[in-house]
Structure 1
């Protein structure tokens, strides 16, 4: 009887809620349309990991407001962002916090068709770059080109908005900034040869966390148990995707049937090993990575206001 009483005392509230059928409703807002950056979330949903933690999670698209704004305003409890946008947001006193890194290293870079002959940042001279009009783009281009004594002023920069990469490089531009796990893998499936210059290969300070999972300071303060339960379930989801990429890809395709299943599977096979990579556990973040990127932003006059790296992220909610 004593054992039973002790066991009952040790039962957490989330399990009690699950038994009572009263799951806590939370909203999670994506940064973009669903892709393999998000697989762990859909796995956690499909495998019942959220339910096991007493949570009923609604996965939402960001809409015009954007994930950071919705999370900061309390319209969604959790979301997806990236280190660069959190750094800017916190310098503007927007109280969002990164609680897990989805990927350990920056898998983005500048891509071009191989036939364009762009093999290094020096080759950007005389070419047209298609971007989305953010000041950080020119600063990143300049950082890479400076290392090869190349002149950013010899690059024509145009705003291509949400134009399709493959259409744009055949018609309007020579190169663009992409995430290889999706656009690069799609190029492979299409039989299109690309040249890539990954940001992380040119500067340690540009090997930042992108994407990350966020919540608000208020959520951490008022509902730490919910944050811990959510992170535990998501961790299980990404750990499953690491070990079972094909099965995880099937779960994402099932949840979002509009996605190209062949692309999802190939992308998942490429990205699964990148989730944890060389970190001791999935989701872990390092202070020096946050400090380094903030220093780079400051050096490039991109950061307005005070940024305290220690307040921008936490590993406290990751399972031990």
Structure 2
């Protein structure tokens, strides 16, 4: 058995379902992988855990990957995407009167301390005709619709298929701005990443890990109700409501498998390059970055 330490980006949710399905069915063990699943501790992000040598593979946002590569020499690449579509949105209260990103000028955005997303939010406002004049706040409940409901911020970046479903079931009406609808071609919101040295040395281990993971996501795509029941065993106590989990899983399962390849995990180089060129045009990159430097599909089946 080959040990592989894998860390989540957030508390367990439907974006991670394929991993939980593979664990449940024993597919990692069948592949010879002794998986050590690490939950996010909110002191170290996934990429930081890679750099510290306490994790081998991590979930992170493509946006964070791009930002990290710009500021740090630690070489990392995305080796798979969890979902084929960007399910993240900038959310505001429906009753706020904010009908498009440009109207966020002079408003507040609930951020995390790392602040990787802040420049992108400001750039989105500018690309929609605004000035990008936004106040960044750092509430305790980051990336949560609750920050809006409790008036700690006017906007927040959430996953519509998870926090968005939570808000809907709680009777909180949100308006969602998807980056791609406003000239920002954000592609893969959640990707698996690894250090390039680890990729080179442990390619066969990673191939086995990704094959088992792909099997898990394919199963989750075909069995959303059963997947919700498995997910129940993993989520935080506050999320242990089957009505919510079934709704969230139903909103997520259709996005795991590529309609082009019929498989899980593959990233389209054209989409990644379009996003990177947008970042460069918005001044979020000081040098030209090509997709080949950030992503690889070589370990996927």
What is the TM-score with the length of structure 2 in the denominator?
Answer: 0.88
Q: Does 1:120 align with 2:100?
A: yes
Match of 1:275 in 2: 256
Query: For the pair shown, which has the larger CA radius of gyration, 1 or 2?
Result: 1
> How many residues matched?
295
The 3 A distance-change label for structure 1 pair 148 and 38 is closer
Match of 1:151 in 2: 131
Superposition RMSD in Å = 2.3
Where structure 2 has 5 or more consecutive residues not aligned to the other structure, the ranges are none
> C-alpha separation between the residues in 1 aligned to 2:122 and 2:236?
40
Match of 2:293 in 1: 311
> C-alpha separation between the residues in 2 aligned to 1:142 and 1:69?
25
Judge conservation of contact 1:133–1:158 (CA < 8 Å) in 2: no
- Match of 1:181, SS? coil
The 3 A distance-change label for structure 1 pair 161 and 272 is same
The 3 A distance-change label for structure 1 pair 138 and 213 is closer
> C-alpha separation between the residues in 1 aligned to 2:44 and 2:112?
17
Q: 4+ residue runs of structure 1 moved beyond 6 angstroms?
A: none
Where structure 1 has 5 or more consecutive residues not aligned to the other structure, the ranges are 1-22
| 1:24 Cα deviation from its structure 2 partner | 2.0
Which one of the candidate residues 57, 69, 76 is aligned to 1:78? 57
Match of 1:298 in 2: 280
Match of 2:77 in 1: 97
Q: Can you list the C-alpha shifts for 1:245-275, whole angstroms capped at 9, x where unaligned?
A: 1111111212346232332221111011012
Judge conservation of contact 2:62–2:188 (CA < 8 Å) in 1: yes
Match of 1:185 in 2: 165
Which one of the candidate residues 174, 177, 199 is aligned to 1:194? 174
Bigger share in helix: 1
| 1:137 Cα deviation from its structure 2 partner | 4.2
What is the TM-score with the length of structure 1 in the denominator?
Answer: 0.84
> C-alpha separation between the residues in 2 aligned to 1:311 and 1:152?
29
The 3 A distance-change label for structure 1 pair 220 and 202 is same
Judge conservation of contact 1:83–1:290 (CA < 8 Å) in 2: no
